Amino acid sequence: MRKQFVLDKRTDKMLQELASYVGGNRSLVVREAIKLYSNMEDRLDESSRPGFPEDDGGVDVQSGKAVSHP
């Protein structure tokens, strides 16, 4: 499926440089970047789901004691 989008000069240069490592295939670079971004977003979404350990503010939940962090 073909898509068209506009890049600024800096981003276009980065895309060209990255594509040079994979035989000039800019589409591959864009697809991989989108996959990586999507996976990162999925992991961030998982961290906000119920049951994910929240920041406990330095408290050991089981013992009820404060925990020092170096």
pTM for the full model?
A: 0.59
pLDDT tens-digit series, residues 5-39: 899 999 999 999 999 999 999 999 999 999 999 99
* Angle subtended by helix axes 26-47 and 9-20, to nearest 10: 100
Q: Where are the domains of the chain?
A: 1-48
Neighbours of 28 (CB within 10 A): 14
Asked if 30 contacts 22 with a C-beta cutoff of 8 angstroms, the reply is no
**Whose structure tokens read 């350990």?**
53
Whether 53 has a pLDDT exceeding 80, the answer reads no
